[in-house]
Amino acid sequence: MVIENKLNINFNPTEKDIECIKEWLIEEINITNKGFYNNWNIIYDKYKTKEILVITDNEYPIGFLTYTTFDFCVRIDIFSIKPSERRKGVGKKFINEVFSFFKSKNILVLKLFCSPENSHLFWRKNGFEYYSLYEKDTKRRINMFKPLIKVLKSDTGVKSNLKINLWNCESHLKNKVPYKWSWDIILKDDKRTLVKPILFPIQGDWYMEFIVNDELIFSDKVKRFKENNDYPYTDFLFVTQLQCLI
């Protein structure tokens, strides 16, 4: 896929492409003591499993991304641009094509953790949001995610008689703190499909409530919420329909 001039996305890189990447990763670590050459075995394994995308300039690899797929979610594992090509807009052009590629594969959301930590600035500029599944995350690593579809945001100010409240703690702690997020749900004319789905990173043991007309319909761990539909429990709350209303 040609992006601009001689820039191109290669979805099936060759062994020669991978060796070129290896060369500039070695050069980077020798000069700066930084980069991803220490992860070379992981990168090469991703090449063998066809979980790597490469951006080329005049057919020469100047950046790459490795990933892992989980149902409707892709985790970006490593993303790197050749040092001499940075601050030229290459990363932004590359990641925009990555978004299109994963959308075409019916991927709904991307997630990652930032390494190095200052890379969060790049991801934030490209639409990623911060999240934390555990208290220690705020101290040890920066997690981010980006839905590839339009989703219902929490706490929008729109009121509804259907509401999901979510705590970032287990049930035995929920009386000590207020809920962290709340979604007021609007349904389509069929009275069961959400106008916009909920797609949000979770920890399965978090406590949640589902309320209909002020009546508590569900109160338990989020991983037991049967309306987390279309897929079994994952690292995301994903609600497209409310079958209990049928």
Crossing angle between the packed helical segments 15-32 and 40-48, to the nearest 10 degrees: 170
More confident residue, 163 or 226: 163
- Overall average pLDDT of the 151-167 stretch: 92
Is 0.75 surpassed by the pTM of this model? yes
* Predicted pLDDT of residue 90: 96
**Residue located via tokens 């509401």:** 163
Domain ranges of the chain: 2-147, 162-245
pLDDT digits 0-9 by tens, 202-211: 999 999 999 9
> Mean pLDDT for the chain?
91
CA–CA separation, 180 and 190 (whole Å): 30
Q: With a cut of 70, say whether residue 228 has pLDDT above it.
A: no
* Predicted pLDDT of residue 201: 95
- Overall average pLDDT of the 210-225 stretch: 93
- Overall average pLDDT of the 212-222 stretch: 94
CATH 3.40.640.10 is right for the domain spanning 2-147? no
Least confident span in 136-150, 185-199, 208-222: 136-150
CA–CA separation, 94 and 78 (whole Å): 13
